[in-house]
Amino acid sequence: MNGEFGLQSRLVEERLAGALGVSRTPVREALVRLLADGLVVRHDGGYYVALPDLSRLRNLYELRILLELRGVERAVESGVVRLDAAILEPLRDQWRAMSVDKPDPNPEFVLVDEDFHLTLLRSSGNTALTETLESVNARIRPVRMYDFLTEDRIERTVAEHLNIVELVLAGDLAEALASLRQHVGISMEVVERRAARAITQMALHRGGVS
């Protein structure tokens, strides 16, 4: 994800094991996991770094934004739809705790982030929207991992999530909607910029373990 392996570099188990000082078994298991996560691809009998598809990312991110905003929009537009406080209050408490004890940067934080957005959408009561968002998330997850590589992005994500859920619970849905729109848009810009930088590094890289 940092572009340390070239686009044509084959990820050879034996060489990776030697570089990392471990046996081939955990390396083999790790490659299988990375394949499942969409971070490597397998062809010609070997593993290679997966190239982020930025065009596909933009299209799917646009769909993600529409789905997420629609959950809150339904409550703004309707006098009947309510965002379920019983679902949102535990979510608020979870992110309050994270604001005190912030997680370390980690690509797998994407799963925690996804849970926030799915729970927020689930609180609107439309299961079809939530199921569709789950599907979209699975398809963009390998690239969205680029959003959680630095402390500042973790800190900002936690702060923005907490602000959004607190605005919803306070009944300020218009402001919550505006904050959510800005939050998801910034995330897309960061992910696209970092993925593009990684692609450039991959193209330039000629060394490393291969």
Q: What is the value of pTM for the model shown? A: 0.78
Residue whose C-alpha is closest to residue 149's, from 113, 185, 110: 110
- Pick from 78, 167, 163, 168: nearest CA to 122: 168
Domain range summary for the chain, segments of one domain joined by +: 13-50, 54-197
CATH superfamily entry for domain 54-197: GntR ligand-binding domain-like (1.20.120.530)
pLDDT at 207: 47
Q: Which residues of the chain have pLDDT under 70?
A: 205-210
d(CA 88, CA 90): 6
Burial 113-140 (b: 16+ CB within 10 A, else e): bbebbbbbbbbbbbeebbebbeebbeeb
Pairing type for strands 46-49 and 40-43 reads antiparallel
**Amino acid 210: pLDDT:** 46
| pLDDT for 1 | 73
- Residue 139 has what pLDDT? 86
Q: Which of 98, 186, 92, 198 is nearest to 142 (CA)?
A: 198
For residue 29, give every residue at least 6 positions away whose Cβ sits within 8 Å of its Cβ, in sequence order, or none: none
